[in-house]
Amino acid sequence: MKQECPEKTLHEIYCRETGLQIAYSMQRHYGWEMFRARFTADDLALVCRELRKRVKDGKRNIASLAFRFLVLDLDSFEELLAECRAVQRKPFTDSGKAAVLRATGRPDESPTPPAQSAGVTLERSKLAAQLREFKKTL
């Protein structure tokens, strides 16, 4: 049974997701080894899809998908990955819904609840447990 090289698999994902067909060489193999030490195939696919979308929207140029910029510059890739993950977390608001909300004098986006620290969450959990214990005594 033939085992697939993980670096070769990453290269195939890169070619598929960027639409750039480039040769798999030893130099690129070493680049993929370094990439694989810090990132996953899912990270690569996410960043490539987001960059392709930005290229399509005219916000980036096709050179941003180049192997030397995307894969060999690991610090830049890490920053792009963080941006892509942040974009994924941003809640989607339907433009039709936003227009109706504006027309009725309400804010476009629903307010997001403030983030809670782990300490606050633990304190609430303790208070809830105390309340349950108190209710048992009644």
Give domain status of residue 62, yes or no.
yes
Give domain status of residue 22, yes or no.
yes
Could you tell me if 85 and 47 are in contact, meaning their C-beta atoms sit under 8 angstroms apart?
no
The span from the CA of 126 to the CA of 133, in Å, is 11
Token pair in block for residue 55: 């290229």
Q: What's the pTM value of the predicted model, to 2 decimals?
A: 0.62
Could you tell me if 13 and 45 are in contact, meaning their C-beta atoms sit under 8 angstroms apart?
yes
Assign 1 a pLDDT band (cuts: 50, 70, 90). very low
- Domain total for the chain? 1
Domain interval for residue 52: 6-89
Give domain status of residue 73, yes or no.
yes
pLDDT at residue number 22 = 93
Residue 116, SS3? Answer: coil
Could you tell me if 6 and 33 are in contact, meaning their C-beta atoms sit under 8 angstroms apart?
no
Give domain status of residue 50, yes or no.
yes
Is pLDDT at 2 greater than 70 in this prediction? no
Could you tell me if 24 and 69 are in contact, meaning their C-beta atoms sit under 8 angstroms apart?
no
Contacts of 110 by beta carbon, 8 Å cutoff, 6+ apart: 91, 93
pLDDT at residue number 75 = 94
Give domain status of residue 120, yes or no.
no
Give domain status of residue 138, yes or no.
no
